[in-house]
Amino acid sequence: MDTIKRTVRVISLRPEQANDDSFENALQNAGHKVTVLSSTEPAFSLVNSSWPDVVMFDPVSQFGMSGSIQRLRSSFDGLIVAAGHIPDPTITSMLEELGIVNFAESAAKLRVLVDNAPFRKSVDVIDPYEAVTSAPETSEVAEVVPAAEPGARQLLLTEPVNPQPEPTVPELSGEFLPVEIDGIEDRAVIEKTAAAFWGDTTPDAFVTVNGEPIVVSEYGAFVVDYPLDDGANFIEVLASDFQGRTARKSFTVVSLQS
């Protein structure tokens, strides 16, 4: 059985009217996380975060024929792939002039590129003691406190890192609606006017953010670019499905805009 060693996060820029999802299906079947977007604006909101690792686009759509990819290329340091057949070599030359060097005319070629794509590190999280906080789950976290001598640090052992919670009764019984959300942290303090985050749930789920419905893709993925007021903001994500299952996640984000 063909398996991958890791999951790569992919944004696919595809026109709404396009009905060929073979590229997305190939990546999804390989275990990668794929979110299909029909507008580049959400992608622009996410390229400077830890999501995605890869952006792929239809080279003969409006994404390849407009300045969208050029704008994206100037701000995105991850892998960008022109995925699809290019009937005219002048289109390839034009894209190469814009800095696009990865082309995949087949799903197999795309798999090779994505499987070997490097992970991107979030620029929103700056941790000078990453080596300490990224210790294995079985070890203990080292709390950094100022030492007596200026500029020095000492390490104090505290509780284990990322203890695994016990499964709840709803989770074990299948009554729990699975919802995963990334890109946002509770009690985060950011100097931004919007909170860009994304998530995964079941494809038939109905999801709202503070009461406003959002689009869930055919793969169960969703992307949110939520505007923030200056100061504290409460963000509540509610999800439900036709089986009557529900899930709720809430965050408080402080936006420093002045």
In which band, very low, low, confident or very high, does the pLDDT at 49 lie, cut at 50, 70 and 90?
A: low
Instruction: State the average pLDDT for the chain.
Output: 76
- Residue 131: what pLDDT? 32
- Tell me, rounded to whole angstroms, the distance of Cα 135 from its chain centroid: 23
| Closest by CA position to 206, among listed 194, 215, 219 | 215
In the chain, where are the structural domains located? 9-115, 130-160, 169-255
The pLDDT, as a whole number, for residue 226 is 92
Q: Confidence band (pLDDT; 50, 70, 90) for 108?
A: very high
pLDDT band per the 50, 70, 90 thresholds, residue 224: very high
- The answer on pLDDT for 231 being more than 90 is no
CATH architecture of 9-115: 3-Layer(aba) Sandwich (3.40)
Q: Are 230 and 255 in contact (CB under 8 A)?
A: yes
Crossing angle for the helix pair 22-29 and 107-115, to the nearest 10 degrees:
40
The per-residue pLDDT for 48 is 60
Q: Which helix (H) or strand (E) holds 173?
A: helix 169-173
The per-residue pLDDT for 162 is 44
At 175 the pLDDT is 63
pLDDT digits (tens, 9 = 90+) for 139-162: 444 444 444 444 443 333 333 444
Is the full-model pTM beyond 0.85? no
Residue 80: pLDDT band by 50, 70, 90 thresholds?
Answer: very high
Q: Quick one: what percent of the chain has pLDDT higher than 70?
A: 71
Overall fold of domain 169-255: Immunoglobulin-like (2.60.40)
Collapsed DSSP state (helix, strand, coil) of residue 178: coil
**127 pLDDT above the threshold of 50:** no
What is the full DSSP assignment across 63-112?
A: HHHSSHHHHHHHH--SEEEEES--S-HHHHHHHHHTT--EEESSHHHHHH
DSSP assignment of 15-71 equals: -TT----HHHHHHHHTT-EEEEES-HHHHHHHTTTT--SEEEE-TTSHHHHSSHHHH
| Mean pLDDT on 228-240 | 89
Q: In what order do the strands lie in the sheet with 79-83?
A: 33-37, 9-13, 54-57, 79-83, 102-104
pLDDT score of 24 more than 70: yes
